[in-house]
Structure formats: structure tokens, C-alpha cells
Amino acid sequence: MGDGWGLRRERVEERVSLKRDIGLFGSFSMGYADVGADIYVALGLVALYSAGGSPLAFSLAAILYVATGLSYAELASTYPYAGGVQIYSMKAFNDLAGFIAGWMMLLSYTVDITLFAMASAGYLSFFIPEMGKSSQVGPFRLGNLVILTLAIISFLIAINVLGVKESSTLNVMMVFPSLAVQMAILILGFAFNFSLPMFLKQIAEIGSPKVLDVSYIPFMDLRTQNFIYGVTLAMSSYVGIASIAQAAEETKKPYKWIPLAAKLSVLMVLIFAIGLSVLSMGMMSWQELAGNIESPLVIMARKIAYIGVPLSYLVAFTGFTVNLASANTGVIGVSRIVFSMAKYDQMPRWFNQIHSKFRTPTRSILFFGAIGMILAFLGGLEKVADLYTFAALITYIFVNLAIFKLRKIDREAYRPWKSPSIGNIPLTGFIGGAAALLILALMLVFHPIGRALGTLWLVFGLILYSMYRKANGLPITGRMYAEDVRPAAYKMEVLALIPYEIPTSTAADVLQSYFDRRHRLFLADLISARDMHEFRELELLSMSHLEEVASILRKKGYEVTTFIIRGGEEALAEEAEPYDFVAIFWRGRLKGKVSGISKVLSDRLKGRLVMLRVR
């Protein structure tokens, strides 16, 4: 590639980096905000199509959400880069795959900004009805609702320019009241209003019997098709877990907080999405729920005995706050993924700019925030909401495929949290990938708008990408920057010399206190003997001892290998050379023997020798 390659590599190095300012609650709130906001609408919408089978529809869609959420937990903590699935796809496959994943995620976040800013404005108008008015002039929407939406997006742009700490704090402040109110609805609703006979009666009615706005298949049962359509809509209530990954480069202790935040997000969403759906079927008819698509939680809150009316006002307020948080997450997500795509020559490098003072990707925030404001003027924007789910499903397929490939090509990477697996095969990737493909196929069949507009968006992006790469003399399907995307840490190999005189539990405890699971442990003992018989006895004794220590450590999640080193100090020095660290145990009467070994190794290993004293 010559000098051009060298120049392109220099682009990866940033003089000003993103700032790590997001803690556990900030990371969790981003993962929950997108999904939590969807519940405020999806409950009624899913009931309209799935009827009494709504809880089943949410449960089926949850399979994909849980599997993909856990895949993200592993990948985002292993590769804590802004860009998320775009980075994983580029690393696992090639630049083109990274672009497609990033381009579809970009679409999802851009639509997210406008949809949820408008939903937030709608809930605010619950208190100021005059602000909720709008009018249609040709293809454009005008009126107070649009003005309020523009004000909300402008506010979010300003907060995001100032810093990720400020935008993350806003999310935390907006999300936690919603969690508290939804939990109150669940507890009080089940305590005072839930009717098990009503629930059992309604749950048997799978799918609406009415002809609705669905692209029906001839000769297939109407109720079945409506239920399937409801499942695809339920999936829209689970879009958003990727937001945690987009901010991984700005998360404090990503190896610790990202897996925990992802798992907490998955748990909370399952509790509220499925729990509220079950509750709704036991406290009102599905027809009533479906008749209140815009505010199903408000209707549920009003039915709760004793405090229904004041609680409904709290629900409306938290509807405003959580939708605001979701729109804010959209601004964070789209700006980070565009920044990352530009960094790796998948979009113009103009977007790869960090503000020297605020340390935020200002250009991408302003540019795509402005697009979100323009979309607010489009009438019938709700009809393109299919794109939100369509785009997310494409990225879910990529993330679940990428986890397979990255497990294979980065075997030595330290994975702070590893998703459930059989051997080295991630079950989450298999289940999540299959479920995403199935739901995407159902969307392509039953959602003509999503099918048409999603395909057009993808084709449009591929044309722009091809033109940009050719104009800059770059290969379309190359792997130019794959090697620049490295795991946060590789597993380091430690040779631990453990004489059989050291108690097994003591040895295991000391090793755990010095080395965590990012270290691969090789336990050994040095044996030299006068004759073969004596050697064999010592070898059996030492191996039994080492295996007992290894067994304790394996139960704690460590990778452990045991073996015997035959010979003297020089044999040990030669064996120790390839390891990252060599740890030597010593105590009391072993001091003389160990001092000789340490003297030989200290010259050879140069700072890699660790002395572990046992009392």
C-alpha cells in the first residue's frame, strides 16, 4: 500500500480522545432508556394485533432480546470501542460488513431521536393540552407539537455537545423515576386489580379476529397472522440494548460495568415488558388496552384502586422523562457510531472530530441532531417506525454472527464476562442469530413499508460507501483496520512454581489474591532426584498436589494447566522464558532453595519474577 497505507493508519490515532465519564448507572440507563420508552406505546399496539396473546408475543420476542443482550455484554466489554456492532463486524469480517452494520444502526438511532422526542412532547402535552396540537399541510406536520419537539431535540443537542457526563446524568435522572412508577404499577396492580380468571380467559384468545393493517398471506388463518404481526411489533419494544456498546469507549471500568449494566437492562426490561403485559390482561379487556394505543400505561394506572388518578399523572410525567432519555440515547448512539465509521474510512473523515474542550464528537452530534429536527416536520412519521426495528434486526444478526468469529480469531483475548457457551461455541450467538433471522423474515413478509424503505436505505448506503471508497483509492471489502481493533486485554500466562510442601488451599488463595481471571495459570513443581524410583514417587506426589490446587482454581473460573519440570535451576529458567510472569512460592525452610532459583531467574526474566511468600 506504500505511503498511502501509512497515512491512513495515522488517522486512527486521535490527538483528543473521548472521555471516560460514564459509570454503572449511566451505562444501565442508556441500555434501558430506549427499551423502557417503547413499553409506553408497545403494550397497546401489540394488544391490537395479538389480542389476549400479548404476553406470549412479548415472551417470544424476548428470546432474541436476551440472547443478543448477553452477546453485547461479552463483546462490548472485550472490545470497548465507540461504534459497537460496526466495530465487531469490521473486526470479525471486513470493512463492508462493518459499514452495513453501522449504516443500519445509524438509521435506527436517527429515527429514534425524532420518534421519541415527539413522544416525549406528546406526554408533556398531557399537562398542557394546547402544546399537543398539530396540523397537516401536505406532507408536512406543523403546530405546537412540532415546535415542542424541536425544542426538545435542540436541548438534547446542547447537552450532548457539553459532554457525555452531562448527557449520561440526564439519562439517569430521567430513567429512574420511570422505573419507580412502573414498579408501583406492577406491585399495586397485582395486589388490588389482577384477576386470574380474566387473565386465563384472555390468554387463550391468540390474535385479533379483525382485518387490520397487515400484508396478509392468502389461505393463512387471520388470527395467526395478526398474532405473528404482534410478535414483530413486540420486538420493537426490545430495541435499544446496543446503546451500552456505543458508549463503551466512554465508560469507566468497561470490563466491570458493561456486563453488569447489560444484564441489569435485560432483567429490568423483561420484568416490565412481560410483567406489565401479563398484568394488563388480568385487569382489563384486550380491546380496551388496544383502544388506548397512545397511553396504555396511563389507562392501567387509572384502574388501580385508591390511587389510580394521581398515579396516572405520575405515569404521564414518567412517559415524558423516559421518552426524553430515549431520544437522548439516540443522539449519543448516532454520534458515536458515525464518529467510529469515519475513523475507519467508512464515512467522510470530517465526522471524525473530537472537540478539544468538551471531548465529544461535536460535528456528528450537530449534523444528525439537525436531521432529527428536520424529520419532525414529516407527517406520518409513525409509518416509517418499521425502519427502527428493521434496522435493529440487521444489526442483531451481525452481532450474533460476530461473536462466533471473534471467539475463533481472538482466542487469547481476555473476556471480562463470557456469555453461556458449549465449549467455545456461544449459545447466545446461536439463539440470537436464529431468532433475529426468523423475526426479520416475518417483518419482510408482513411489513411492506419496512421492507421497501429498509431495502432502499441499504442500497442507498452501499452506493455512497462504494463511491467514497473508490474516490479515496480504498478497497470496498478489505480489512484495512481490523488489526487496529484490539481487545482491551489479552490473557497473560503465569507460570507458578508451587512446592508440594505448600498447602493446597493456601496456594489457591494466594494465587487468587495476586492474579485475576485475565491470567492463564500454569502450575508446576521442579523435581530432581537421585534415581528413577525416587523421581517417580516425587512426580506422583507433586502432580496430585498441583491438581488439587488447580481444581480449586478451576471452580473459580480460572484456566489452569499442571505439569512437572524435570531437572535443576537451568531447566526451570529455560522453561520459564516464554511466560509473561513467573511466580515462586516460598516459606520457612524452603527459603534457601528458593533464593537460589530466584537468583537464576531474576537475571533471565528481567522484572517478570513475582515472589509469593506464604506464612
> What's the pLDDT score for residue 127?
83
> How many Cβ atoms sit within 10 Å of the Cβ of residue 537?
12
Domain match, 410 and 523 both: no
Whether 456 and 508 share a structural domain: no
| pLDDT higher than 60, residue 91 | yes
Q: 412-446 burial string, b = 16+ CB within 10 Å, else e?
A: ebbbbbbbeeeeeebebbbbbbebbbebbebbbbb
> 194 CB contacts (<8 Å, ≥6 apart)?
279, 282, 283
In this structure, the number of other CB atoms found within 10 A of the CB of residue 470 comes to: 11
- Indicate the burial class of 263 (C-beta count within 10 angstroms; 0-12, 13-18, 19 or more): middle
33 & 182 share domain: yes
Span 101-125, mean pLDDT?
Answer: 89
User: Pick the residue with more confidence: 196 or 533?
Assistant: 196
Band (pLDDT 50/70/90 cuts) for residue 242 is confident
What's the angle, vertex CA 169, arms to CA 165 and CA 173, rounded to 5? 175
Whether the pLDDT of residue 43 is over 80: the answer is: yes
pLDDT at 593 over 60: no
Alpha helices in 472-514 (DSSP H): 504-514
Host domain of residue 174 = 22-484
Please work out, in degrees rounded to the nearest 5, the angle formed at the alpha carbon of residue 116 by the alpha carbons of 112 and 120.
165
pLDDT over threshold 80, residue 590: no
d(CA 470, CA 463): 11
Tell whether 125 and 257 lie within a shared domain.
yes
CA-closest candidate to residue 330, choices 300, 372, 362: 372
Q: How far apart are the first and last CA of the chain?
A: 59
Place of cell 488489526: 483
Closest CA to 519 of 549, 547, 557, 573: 557
Please, which pLDDT band fits residue 380 given cuts at 50, 70 and 90? low
The CATH number assigned to the domain holding 607 equals: 3.40.50.620
Q: Within 13 A of 515's CA, how many CA atoms are on the CB side? A: 30
pLDDT tens-digit profile of 47-77? 999 999 999 999 999 999 999 999 999 999 9
Percent of the chain at pLDDT exceeding 90: 43
Q: What is the mean pLDDT of residues 400-404?
A: 96
pLDDT for 176-227, tens place per residue? 898 999 999 999 999 999 999 999 999 999 999 999 888 889 889 999 999 9
- Residues 289 and 327 grouped into a single domain: yes
Task: Assess whether pLDDT exceeds 50 at residue 1.
Answer: no
Do 46 and 87 lie in one domain? The reply is: yes
Cell, residue 44: 397497546
Query: Are the beta carbons of 225 and 207 closer than 8 angstroms?
Result: yes
Residue 16 inside a domain? The answer is no
Cell of 40: 409506553
Q: Which three cell numbers stand for residue 456?
A: 432502499
Asked if residue 164 and residue 95 are part of one domain, the reply reads yes
Say which DSSP state 17 is in.
P
pLDDT of residue 305: 83
Asked if pLDDT for residue 133 goes beyond 80, the answer is: no
Longest CA pairwise span in the chain (Å): 99
6 domain-assigned: no
pLDDT category at 8 given cuts 50, 70, 90 is very low
Reported confidence tier of residue 230, pLDDT bands at 50, 70, 90: very high
Of 422, 453, 484, the residue at which a domain comes to its end is 484
The Cα 216–Cα 218 span in angstroms is 6
Residue 9 lies in a domain: no
Residue 10: what pLDDT?
41
User: Which residues on neighbouring strands pair with residue 519, listed in sequence order?
Assistant: 492
7 located within any domain:
no
Share of the chain above pLDDT 70, in %: 92
Q: Give which of 513, 520, 518 is closest to 496, Cα–Cα.
A: 520
CATH classification of the domain holding 413? 1.20.1740.10
Instruction: Please compute the mean of the pLDDT values over residues 500-512 and round it to a whole number.
Output: 90
pLDDT at residue 597, as a whole number: 67
Residue 381's pLDDT is: 59
Q: What is the identity of the amino acid at 78?
A: T
For CA atoms 39, 296, 313, 331, give the dihedral sign: positive
* Last-in-domain residue among 467, 484, 501: 484
Q: Is residue 3, in this structure, part of any structural domain at all?
A: no
The answer, yes or no, to whether residue 506 has pLDDT greater than 60, is: yes
Residues linked to residue 494 through DSSP beta bridges, in sequence order: 521, 581
Tell me the pairing of strands 421-422 and 135-137: unpaired
Residue 535: inside a domain, yes or no? yes
All three cell numbers of 312, joined, read 396516572
Q: Are residues 91 and 202 in the same domain?
A: yes
Q: Among 81-85, 181-185, 355-359, which is the least confidently predicted range?
A: 355-359
Q: Can you give the pLDDT at residue 257?
A: 87
Cell numbers at 431, concatenated: 439463539
Query: Total domain count for the chain?
Result: 2
Q: Are residues 516 and 403 in the same domain?
A: no
By three-state DSSP, how is residue 604 classified?
Answer: helix
449 shares its domain with 499: no
Same domain for 457 and 506, yes or no, is no
Q: pLDDT digit string (tens) for 292-302?
A: 877 888 889 99
Average pLDDT, the chain: 86
3-state SS record for 61-104: HHHHHHHHHHHHHHHHHHCCCCCCHHHHHHHHCCHHHHHHHHHH
Residue 82 predicted with pLDDT over 90: no
Q: Which three cell numbers stand for residue 33?
A: 432508556
pLDDT per residue over 454-498, tens digit each?
899 999 999 999 999 999 999 998 888 888 888 887 778 899 988
**Domain annotation covers residue 567:** yes
pLDDT single digits (tens) 311-343: 988 998 998 998 999 899 999 999 999 999 999
Q: Would you say residue 17 lies in a domain?
A: no
Calpha distance 214→206 (Å, rounded): 16
**220 φ, ψ (degrees, to nearest 5):** -105, 145
All residues at 6 or more sequence positions from 310 whose CB lies less than 8 Å from its CB, including other chains: none
Half-sphere exposure of residue 201: CA atoms within 13 angstroms, side-chain side: 10
**CB contact at 8 A, 541 and 579:** no
Are both 110 and 191 inside the same structural domain?
Answer: yes
Domain end position, chosen among 465, 484, 503:
484
Using an 8 Å Cβ cutoff, are 261 and 31 in contact? yes
Q: How far is CA 543 from the centre of its chain?
A: 43
Q: What's the rounded Cα separation, in Å, for the pair 372 and 340?
A: 20
Q: How many angstroms separate the CA atoms of 265 and 243, rounded? A: 11
- Torsion from C-alpha of 466, 467, 473, 478, nearest 10 degrees: -10
Q: What is the pLDDT of residue 499?
A: 86
Q: How does strand 560-566 pair with strand 519-527?
A: parallel
The whole-angstrom distance between residue 224's C-alpha and the CA centroid of its chain comes to: 32
Task: Give Rg (Cα) of the chain.
Answer: 28
